[in-house]
Copies of this chain bind each other. A is one copy, B any other.
Amino acid sequence: MTARHEQVADDLRRLIVAGTFAIGDRLPPETRLAVQYGVSTPTLREALEVLRAEGLIAKYQGRGNFVRRPSERLTYPGPPKAERVTVSSTDATATGVLAVRLGLPEGAPLTAYVCLSHRDDSRQSLTHVYVPRTAAPLTVASPWGDDLVTAAAGVPVATSNDQVTARFPTTAEAQSLRIGTRTPVLAIERTFTTADGRHVAYALLVLPGDRAEVVLITRLDTDQEAQQ
């Protein structure tokens, strides 16, 4: 009682790991694969969606489906492996959840930074950083936003509290990261806190689920880290 698209995905996965389709190869067009497997095109696309979520293939509109190089996974937090990070900044105001997270009054002036990290023409991460607006000039940044926050906050930043969830990307996020709207992403909401307990920055990281993972190390014999 396995679904048809799962059967197709299983067979294609077998062909890929067996090397019948080598790394970097383009798969046959979806229409032809659909005919070969005797399924309709939406069903075959479901199968490819599964493989894409596993990071086995990448789709490029107008070009085709390609076998991905394995273990291209980036880890968060960790040394950024991006080749380039492009940053842009705009003025914004604290509204709704943003004001709550930063402990600021509604409408307070903010500066919003957008960091997009690349590597080998592959988008790695999309980060939005929100800090209270200051005159601080900001130049370079890490893909996770740490540099921006330490530079923007006048005082040292002590801890960051990260909430990691799995969801689908918004259309804007999918376009920025060049992933499908049905590819799961890791969404990380970071709240930066100073030693005296003030929240000084908020960041939203979006990492493609097919090429990123979050690593956390817990000491079990000591006390567990406190929850938010």
A residues near B (Cβ < 8 Å) are 2-3, 6, 42, 50, 53-54, 75, 77-79, 146, 150, 156-168, 171, 181-182, 184-186, 192, 195, 209-210, 212-221, 224-228
Contact = CB atoms under 8 A, between A and B. Distances in A.
B156 A221 contact: yes
Contacts of A195: 221
B186 A165 contact: yes
Contacts of A53: 167-168
A156 B220 CA distance: 9
A213 B165 contact: yes
Nearest to A161: B217
B220 A146 contact: yes
A67 to B, nearest CB: 18
A164 B227 contact: no
Contacts of A225: 77, 216-217
Nearest to A170: B6
A213 B166 CA distance: 8
A217 B212 CA distance: 19
Contact of A220 (B6, B159, B218): B159
A101 to B, nearest CB: 14
Contact of A217 (B42, B160, B186): B160
4 nearest CB pairs, A to B: A166-B209, A184-B184, A166-B166, A164-B214
B213 A164 contact: yes
Given A168-B184, A184-B167, A184-B184, A162 B50 contact: no
A21 to B, nearest CB: 21
